[in-house]
Amino acid sequence: MSLWEYANPQKFMRTSGALLPFVWIATAACLGVGLVWGFFLTPEAENFGSTVKIIYLHVPAAMMAINAWVMMLVTSLIWLIRRHHVSALASRAAAPIGLTMTVIALVTGAIWGEPMWGTYWAWDPRLTSFLILFLFYLGYIALWEAIENPDAAADLTSVLCIVGSVFALLSRYAVNFWNQGLHQGATLSLDKEENIANVYWLPLLICLAGFVLLFVALVLVRTRTEIRARRIKALVTRERMA
Amino acid sequence: MIPDLGKYAGAVLSSYAISVVLLAGLIALSLWRGARVRRQLDEMESRRKTDG
């Protein structure tokens, strides 16, 4: 079995339809357990007080804001190289999810920043690159809506996605590139010494899994919708020609 | 039931409230549009079948 089989819309619809109920159940379980554990059952942190509880939303949302763009980059490249329509539609479907994740990361970050840094916003490398990523998401969605021809829209949005990837990467590594600004380094690390305490790490890990699953569920739902919308468009065109 | 969040209660609760509203809105909108487009396609397909 090859991954390219899923480029066939019918195969994609069949497989995603069968998968979706399980993905939704796993999403609800992970988000339910992770957020309840994090909010109700973890102690205050010495340096952050109770604001540490914002971590269970802020970090997963920021991670998915970047990863959604990475997924869009991969599907855009597949469209440009192999011209699979499902791939372009999956990219289109992922953009509003990435945009929402970016907004959550920016808003929760600002709310968290005020009591910790004394300001909602600073022109810090990570914050600024996230704001630019937000603008790229808006531009990407607007470009899809603005162009009538779906193939031309897919081509142009794919190019925009490749350009925007620079900022998606910068959002992730800005703290490492420029050793300045208010934002701290990575919250999660493979190095045990650098990682956050276990009492926060475990529920955070479950929340991260929940956000990944939520992203997968929403991408599947929205891609299925885009495939159906494309079919409607084709039928309308056929009716007009007849 | 809600843990004592001290002087940061406003920051923590508003973060959760805004995030839940945004995520619930995204999920609801995605499912609603999905159902609407599906219904529309079903109607078109059945019309095509009856028209031959």
Convert the pLDDT of each residue in A58-79 to its tens digit. Answer: 999 999 999 999 999 999 999 9
Name the residue type at position A131: L
Q: Do B37 and A225 touch (CB under 8 A)?
A: yes
In chain B, residues 24-43 whose CB comes closer than 8 Å to chain A:
26-27, 30-31, 33-34, 37-38, 40-41
Q: Do A53 and B5 touch (CB under 8 A)?
A: yes
- Cα(A25)–Cα(A12) distance, integer angstroms: 20
- Closest partner CB to B41 (pick from A111, A218, A228): A228
- The sign of the dihedral angle between the CA atoms of A195, A196, A198, A202 is negative
CA angle B2, A215, A164 (to 5 degrees): 115
Contacts of A3 (CB under 8 A, 6+ apart): none
- Cα(B15)–Cα(B18) distance, integer angstroms: 5
- Asked whether this complex has an ipTM greater than 0.85, the answer is yes
Contact status of B46 with chain A (Cβ, < 8 Å): no
- Cα(A85)–Cα(A64) distance, integer angstroms: 24
Q: At what angle do helices A150-177 and A85-117 cross, to 10 degrees?
A: 30
For chain A, which domains are there? 21-241 (1.20.120)
B17 to chain A: nearest residue by CA? A108
- Cα(A226)–Cα(A55) distance, integer angstroms: 33
pLDDT of residue A193: 59
Contact status of A115 with chain B (Cβ, < 8 Å): yes
Which of these, A89, A231, A97, A222, lies nearest to A151 by C-alpha position? A89
Which of these, A210, A204, A174, A168, lies nearest to A189 by C-alpha position? A204
Q: Do B3 and A225 touch (CB under 8 A)?
A: no
Contact status of A175 with chain B (Cβ, < 8 Å): no
Q: At what angle do helices A55-82 and A9-41 cross, to 10 degrees?
A: 160
- Cα(B19)–Cα(B22) distance, integer angstroms: 5
pLDDT of residue A175: 64
pLDDT of residue A2: 75
pLDDT tens track of chain A, all 242 residues?
A: 677 777 789 999 999 999 999 999 999 999 999 999 999 999 888 888 899 999 999 999 999 999 999 999 999 999 999 999 999 999 999 999 999 999 999 999 999 999 998 999 998 888 888 999 999 999 999 999 999 999 999 999 999 999 999 878 877 776 666 666 667 666 655 555 556 777 889 999 999 999 999 999 999 999 999 999 999 999 998 888 87
> What is the domain partition of chain B in residue ranges?
6-51
B9 to chain A: nearest residue by CA? A50
A125 and A180 in contact (C-beta within 8 Å)? yes
A38 and A203 in contact (C-beta within 8 Å)? yes
pLDDT of residue A170: 78
CA angle A215, A218, A223 (to 5 degrees): 120
Chain B interface, best mutation among A100, A117, A141, A236, by max B CB count within 10 A:
A100
Q: Which residues of A touch B26 (CB under 8 A)?
A: 96-97, 100, 218
Q: What are the CA-CA distances from residue B11 to residues A22, A35, A41, A174, A229 (Å)?
A: 34, 16, 18, 26, 41
- Cα(A36)–Cα(A203) distance, integer angstroms: 9
Q: Do B14 and A57 touch (CB under 8 A)?
A: no
Token pair 């081509």 is found at: A155
Q: Do A57 and B19 touch (CB under 8 A)?
A: yes
